[in-house]
């Protein structure tokens, strides 16, 4: 385990898991103005795909911010990653990326599915926040809130998608761009998940809400090679999108699952 304090510097770390499951990243950040990028790779310790990377999690922060980033590794190259970060007075830009190779994670239970996740929050004041956990397992990866609002800022967006045999299988996206303050939150812990079958979208129960003050644009889209559910509508193979311009704020629930 390591604990690193960062004050007003640019920094890049590459962290890879070791022979046994443990905490491979434990970083406290206090950055006045700078750039931080941390990459964590989960290495398969089993006899199935020894030494292969099952999951990669990357956090980047740019601007002024405080917070912590912790990653634990596990069997078959899985990672549990936690980011709780807040901007300082002049704002910041936060991104979390996660990639899951289900050939490795599932010990070849299913074949040739790769999952991806992207989350972004940015703004020019001290209200930008990212509070996410990324939890891998053999058959499903999921994002969730850890504590507080998942994403908050003048720009927020997240996306989950999978490929199967190199072809796009599922893709869900949501984003807000506003001159006010936008946020995404979940009634319970879980937000979206990717599965070894190639599906993406709503994971677990509860209501998922997006809201914003001010004036701006809300964008939501989804694609499924076999099926898509989109805000209560059921589609066969295909895609759907919604773009709304709002004045004086907006709020409401959303739901998406694709496969």
Mean pLDDT per 10-residue run, the chain (259 residues)? 40 43 90 97 93 97 98 94 97 98 90 96 98 92 86 98 97 98 94 96 93 98 98 95 98 97
Q: pLDDT per residue over 10-50, tens digit each?
A: 444 444 433 345 899 999 999 999 999 999 999 998 999 99
Q: What is the mean pLDDT of the chain?
A: 91
Q: Which positions ≥6 away from 44 have C-beta within 8 Å?
A: 50, 51, 52, 53, 54, 75, 76, 77, 104
What CA–CA distance (Å, rounded) separates 100 from 78? Answer: 8
What pLDDT is attached to residue 147? 63
Task: Give residue limits of the domains in the chain.
Answer: 11-258
């Amino acid at each position: 385990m390591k604990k690193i304090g960062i004050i007003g510097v640019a920094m890049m770390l590459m962290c890879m898991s070791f022979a046994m499951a443990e905490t491979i990243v434990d970083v406290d950040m206090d950055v006045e103005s700078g750039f931080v990028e941390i990459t964590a790779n989960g290495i398969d310790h089993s006899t199935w795909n020894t030494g292969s990377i099952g999951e990669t999690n990357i956090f980047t922060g740019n601007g002024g911010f405080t917070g912590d980033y912790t990653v634990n590794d596990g069997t078959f190259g899985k990672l549990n990653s936690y980011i709780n970060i807040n901007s300082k007075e002049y704002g910041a830009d936060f991104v979390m990326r996660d990639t899951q190779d289900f050939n490795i994670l599932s010990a070849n239970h299913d074949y040739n599915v790769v999952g991806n996740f992207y989350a972004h929050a940015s703004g020019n004041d001290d209200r930008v926040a990212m509070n996410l956990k990324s939890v891998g397992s053999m058959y499903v990866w999921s994002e969730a809130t850890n504590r507080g609002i998942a994403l908050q800022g003048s720009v927020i967006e997240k996306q989950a998608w999978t490929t199967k045999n190199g072809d796009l299988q599922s893709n869900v996206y949501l984003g807000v761009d506003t001159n006010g303050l936008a946020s995404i939150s979940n009634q319970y812990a879980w937000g979206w998940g990717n599965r070894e079958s190639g599906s993406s979208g709503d994971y677990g129960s509860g209501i998922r809400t997006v809201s914003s003050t001010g004036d701006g644009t809300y964008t939501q889209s989804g694609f499924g090679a076999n099926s898509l559910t989109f805000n209560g509508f059921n589609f066969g193979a295909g895609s759907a999108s919604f773009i709304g311009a709002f004045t004086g704020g907006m709020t409401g629930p959303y739901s998406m699952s694709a496969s």
